[in-house]
Amino acid sequence: MKKIFSMLFLLLAAFCLPLSSAYAGDKPTKPKLAKSPEAVAKGKVIYFKRCSFCHGLKGDGDGPVAHQLFPRPRDFTKGLYKFRTTNSGELPTDENLFRTVSNGLPGSAMQAFDIDQVKSGLSEEERWQVIYYIETFYPDFQNPDFDPSKQIAKVPAVVASSADSIAKGKKLFLENKCWECHGKSGKGNGPNSPRLKDKFRADPTNPANLTRPWRFRAGSTAQDILNRFNTGINGMPMPSFVDSVTEADRWHLANYVVSLQMKPLNTDSVLRSKLVKGELSLNPEDPSWSKVEGIDVRMTGQVIWRPRWENPSIDAVTVKSIYNDKEIAFKFTWDDRTKDIVHQQALEYQVPKDYVGYASWEDVPRKAGNFRDSVAIQFPIKSYEGTKKPHFLRGDGANPVNLWVWKSDLEELKQPSAENDIATGPDSGLKAQDAASQTILGKGVYLKGKPLDDEEVDLGTWSVVMKRPLTTKNKNDVQFTQGKFIPFSLDAWDGANGEQGLMMAVSTWNNVILEAPVPNSVYIYTILGIVLVGCLEVVIVRKLKK
């Protein structure tokens, strides 16, 4: 018996071994390819086929794709590399470049080239070849005086995270003025943030929103963050803190930054609207909203219809919904570094007649004070069979959509801030319905709080509520009934990012369902079930006694 058991156990254990899979990705598994003119020549071919359209034939970061990207592709001729393990101002090691080429830089257009992650990617040998070619764009790589392997920043002994370490880190975040760029809430909305520029082309740049780790370019673990403190980000306003913050303190700071990170998004596609008693509050800060579960709707760039925009600043909007016997309300919350409350229609982007490509961030006056912040929720007007719907980008003539649009500039002017619109296709624009149909009430608040110390500051977050009667007489309005899946999608605009018109963040269709209360029949059946089984038991026990 024991033999059989131990054999089975060993078999099971053997099974488990190949089930675990982990790939290094950022670290080479084979010895590094030797640098040689042949390797550089092969790298040149790879660079030409896979890199030159962004980074340029001359490595100047100005290929044909560059104008539509924000951040722009790296200009290799300046020798300023952001993500390294070497001291501030120094070159990256070959291994640093290997990591960037293998994993890409999430949150930018630089993608992973590791063949284990993408089937058409580059093998390790090919990655070394293209790295050696890229290094030829900046002569200092060939100069032994600037050898990066002699400039590795020392990584201090690990200090594991703990409540104590995080508390220390919080104090350091305040004292070292990290909040001046990253904001006291960590959302990248500090007082210096609108003025920051890079050293490549003096382009504007935004400090990282520390609460969204999936957008960190070179990793979001405490170790990765500590590397940024050690090395600074060359060419960017982020400095090295090696001289100003002690070794253990750098770990405390890193642990604090990790503690700011959001929980993973809840991307469930069904929003449950909760039935409540009493008046629906229009105030986004009303405590009744905190008891309701919402979903995080993923947003992405509007790249479907021109003008195409691949640099949205809003990547998710949290939506909640409640309803009573008369009205339904939706609450939208999203991160936005600046409170944009003015809209200048005259500055809106004019779509060129001939198509050349995507809209560039340089085509729109990208500055706070030009365009409003806004959010819109879109519903199909008609009721459809099965899963058919209008197209999620504004429908079309035969399948129009109803949008509720909240505008920050109207809110600021204390006018009714939610508009009831209709759209019949991407080119139709948002058409406001007549005055009698403007039944949507809206209220938006740019949240304030005291996230770091006693100073009340902007948190870098908008919170907006829109509500409307459940049904209206207007045939161009969506009508709400209990227990039915009603499709909805979102559009969102960050004015300071130059977003207006169709240059916006979009989502695809999700569903909202007005939760019907549990019918009484459910409870009746349950009790019936219990009673029946109970009676059966009595009969059995009686019989056994005999």
Residues 277-306 that bind other proteins (CB under 8 A): 298-301, 303-306
What is the SS3 assignment for 373-434?
CEEEEEEECCCCCCCCCCCCCCCECCECEEEEEEEHHHHHCCCCCEEEEEECCHHHCCEECC
Nearer Cβ to other proteins, position 200 or 509?
509
Where b means 16+ CB within 10 Å and e means fewer, 185-195 reads: bbbbbbeebee
Nearer Cβ to other proteins, position 130 or 153?
130
What's the CA gap between 32 and 237, in Å, rounded?
33
Q: Which of 78, 389, 412, 432 touches other proteins by CB under 8 A? A: 389
Tell which residue, 63, 66, 33, 37, has the closest CA to residue 48.
63
Beta-carbon contacts of 466 under 8 Å, excluding residues fewer than 6 positions away, are: 329, 330, 332, 377, 404, 406, 418, 440, 441, 442
Residues facing residue 108 across a β-bridge:
none
- Please, what is the minimum distance in Å from the beta carbon of residue 414 to other proteins? 34
> Does the protein bind other proteins through residue 412 (CB under 8 A)?
no
> Does the protein bind other proteins through residue 515 (CB under 8 A)?
yes
Nearer Cβ to other proteins, position 253 or 505?
505
- Please, what is the minimum distance in Å from the beta carbon of residue 529 to other proteins? 4
What's the CA gap between 118 and 49, in Å, rounded?
16
What's the CA gap between 299 and 497, in Å, rounded?
15
Nearer Cβ to other proteins, position 52 or 428?
52
Phi, psi of 223 (to 5 degrees): -65, -45
Q: Which of 201, 270, 283, 383 touches other proteins by CB under 8 A? A: 270
Nearer Cβ to other proteins, position 205 or 240?
205
Which residues within the stretch 36-65 sit at the binding site for other proteins (CB under 8 A)? 41, 44-45, 48-50, 52-54, 56-58, 60, 62-65
- Please, what is the minimum distance in Å from the beta carbon of residue 310 to other proteins? 4
Stretch that binds other proteins, among 277-285, 336-344, 431-439, 535-543 (CB under 8 A): 535-543
Which residues within the stretch 304-363 sit at the binding site for other proteins (CB under 8 A)? 304-306, 308, 310, 315, 355-358
Neighbours of 13 (CB within 10 A): 9
Binding mask 493-512 for other proteins (x = CB under 8 A): ------------xxxxx-x-
Measure the CA dihedral 416/419/420/426, to 10°: 180
- DSSP conformational letter for 211: T
Which residues within the stretch 99-158 sit at the binding site for other proteins (CB under 8 A)? 108-109, 111-113, 118-121
Q: Which of 13, 15, 157, 290 touches other proteins by CB under 8 A? A: 15
Q: Are 94 and 85 in contact (CB under 8 A)?
A: no
> Does the protein bind other proteins through residue 438 (CB under 8 A)?
no
Q: How many residues bind other proteins (CB under 8 A)?
A: 89
